[in-house]
Chains A and B, each alone.
Chain A
Amino acid sequence: MPTLTPTAATGATAKVGPMVYVDPARMQPADAFAELLADTSMNGPFIADLLSSMLSHERAGAHLYRSVQGRTHNPVLERQYEHFGEETREHVGILEGLIAQLGGDAQYVSPAARATEKAGTALVESTFLLGGSLDLVDRELVMVEAVFLAEAKDQANWECLARLAAALPESDARAAFESAAEQVASQEDEHFLWARETRSRLIRAQAQSPLVVDATSPIEEQIALVESLIEQH
Chain B
Amino acid sequence: MGETRRTVLKGIWAIGALAGGVAAGLLGPGRAFAAWNKGAFEAKSAIDAMKALGMMNAEDSKAIHIRAPEIAENGAVVPIDITSDIPGTTSISVFIEKNPFPYTGTFDVSQGAVPYVHLRVKIGESSPVRVVVAAGGKHYTSAKEVKVTIGGCGG
Q: Do A and B bind each other?
A: no
A residues engaging B (CB < 8 A)? Answer: none
